[in-house]
Amino acid sequence: MALTQISSNKCFGGLQKVFEHDSVELNCKMKFAAYLPPKAETEKCPALYWLSGLTSTEQNFISKSGYHQAASERGLAVIAPDTSPRGCNIKGEDESWDFGTGAGFYVDTTEDPWKTNYRMYSYVMEELPQLINASFLVDPQRMSICGHSMGDHGVLICPCTLSLGQKSL
């Protein structure tokens, strides 16, 4: 799967990047942010997946949290996906702040017309980790997941093993 780099900024010796790709699970273009510490240039790093809350994008955590120095010092890659598909042209997806665009709730919807695009659980648990593992020097055996607000909901429903094929505890 091809990644298109949107931005890259040097930060505490590492690189804060934003990428876009065509998502198979969501049937649309998706963005995610990736902080790659200096260590990621030469060896595999543990990865933390950050799930943001309602109405956020991949920009929320990277611009507001100030995590970069700590991640750099610890050799931690940080991945922050967008919170929902965008631009799918589904009737009603932009009518409410708490349903549709910006509000994917990290679940796979089961009803039409949403089920074609709103598959954030499968995106976060399967597609995104596979893409990250194939594209960057991250250690698939050392992945964690955190979140805030709606992202906390995502953390609670997503097993901490992500897509390692293991059962959650």
Domain ranges of the chain: 4-157
Instruction: Tell me the C-alpha distance between 143 and 164, whole Å.
Output: 9
Asked whether the predicted pLDDT for residue 47 surpasses 80, the reply is yes
Asked whether the predicted pLDDT for residue 160 surpasses 70, the reply is no
In terms of average pLDDT, the best of 32-41, 90-99, 110-119, 141-150 is 32-41
Instruction: Tell me the C-alpha distance between 83 and 93, whole Å.
Output: 13
Asked whether the predicted pLDDT for residue 166 surpasses 70, the reply is no
**What fold does the segment set 4-157 form as a domain?**
Rossmann fold (3.40.50)
Residue 32: per-residue pLDDT:
97
Other CB atoms within 10 A of residue 141 CB: 10
Range with the poorest average pLDDT among 34-43, 145-154, 160-169:
160-169
pLDDT confidence band for 90 (50 / 70 / 90): confident
CA atoms in the 13 A half-sphere facing the CB of 151 = 19
In terms of average pLDDT, the best of 107-121, 123-137, 155-169 is 123-137
Residue 152: per-residue pLDDT:
60
Both tokens of 14, joined, read 């590492």
In the β-sheet with 77-81, what is the strand arrangement from edge to edge? 4-11, 14-23, 28-36, 77-81, 45-51, 138-147
Residue 50, judged by CB atoms within 10 A of its CB (0-12, 13-18, 19+), counts as buried
pTM (2 decimals)? 0.89
Asked whether the predicted pLDDT for residue 103 surpasses 90, the reply is no
